[in-house]
Amino acid sequence: MSTETISTDTTFPVIDRASFGSDWEAWHAAHEKQRASEHGFLAITGLHFLTAEPQRFEDAPGAWSDTPDGPVVELTEGEQLSVDAGPLTGRHAFGPIAERDGLNAIAGDAVIEVAKRGGHIVVRPRHPDTAFRAAYQGTPTYVPNPRWFVGARFLPFETPREVTVGAAVEGLQHVYEAPGELEFELRGETFRLTAFNGHAPGSLLVLFTDATSGITTYAANRALSVDAPDASGVTTVDFNRAVNLPCAYTDYATCPLPPAENRLPIGIEAGEKTPLDRIAVEL
């Protein structure tokens, strides 16, 4: 099998452009389907921050509050919610929720997300019949190109670092654990990006901006999932799979912003572009 060498001194198979493009098309179609699913981010109708005082919201049943027992909902006669354990009645305490974790309660055909973001408990209803979801026609992208698929080396920190970053919601902050950096080459230059822990064990998550941000791509951030490095620290970075976070589509999102060192000075002309539409909060 013919091979080519990339910057990590690791040998990878030569990329077949046809299969590379078809694989990307299948991946992006699945990503769009998930994004536009009946209870995805396009279905969100509100972002409600809970306080100690019970509050009612137009898009969710019950009176909601944040207590030492975690989020609480108080349902009156005729109001219905259910969780995996079954229907809820009266006063229900959901229990403590960890940062970046959450749970879903069902209200008819809607899902009421209850989550903790930036130290705050939020309620975020998702109704499948939103006009925005119905009108969504997809996200524009760059044409996938193997030039943006590069080898990378994971450089672990001596000990993982806690990194505090801003958020799409003014005044909110997120804290992520960063196990190390990813080093790679593009156009003859070497770059490094701080990497956070990803969803799958050993995988990594990179938040970044670049010279296209605010021009052809969303200004605040894009995200990139990276496979777990091998035993020698080698992995790959495929910028063709750089995606928008929910804040590119809706003001009802609490997305993290990239750390300052992840603002690349070059244009990454790959991955998803700025969405054509978005849900704006009416003030």
Instruction: For residue 195, give the nearest of 150, 161, 241 by alpha carbon.
Output: 161
How many whole angstroms separate alpha carbon 122 and alpha carbon 48? 5
- Tell me: the pLDDT tens digits for 239-277? 999 999 999 999 999 999 999 999 999 999 999 999 988
The answer to whether the CB of 148 falls within 8 A of the CB of 268 is: yes
pLDDT (0 to 100) of residue 11 = 44
Q: What is the pTM of this model?
A: 0.89
- Tell me: the pLDDT tens digits for 155-170? 999 999 999 999 999 9
- Tell me: the pLDDT tens digits for 67-100? 998 999 999 999 999 999 899 999 999 999 999 9
pLDDT at 102 over 90: yes
Instruction: For residue 120, give the nearest of 44, 175, 81 by alpha carbon.
Output: 175
Percentage of residues in the chain with pLDDT exceeding 90?
89
pLDDT at 283 over 70: no
Bridge partners of 225? 205
Instruction: For residue 233, give the nearest of 4, 8, 11, 7 by alpha carbon.
Output: 8
pLDDT (0 to 100) of residue 85 = 84
pLDDT (0 to 100) of residue 22 = 95
Calculate mean pLDDT across residues 17-41.
Answer: 94
| Residue listed under structure tokens 């998803």 | 272
262 Cβ partners below 8 Å, 6+ apart?
A: 193, 194, 206, 207, 208, 209
pLDDT at 15 over 80: no
User: Would you call 31 helix, strand, or coil by DSSP?
Assistant: helix
Mean pLDDT for all residues in the chain: 92
pLDDT band at 278 (very low <50, low <70, confident <90, very high): confident
The answer to whether the CB of 238 falls within 8 A of the CB of 206 is: no
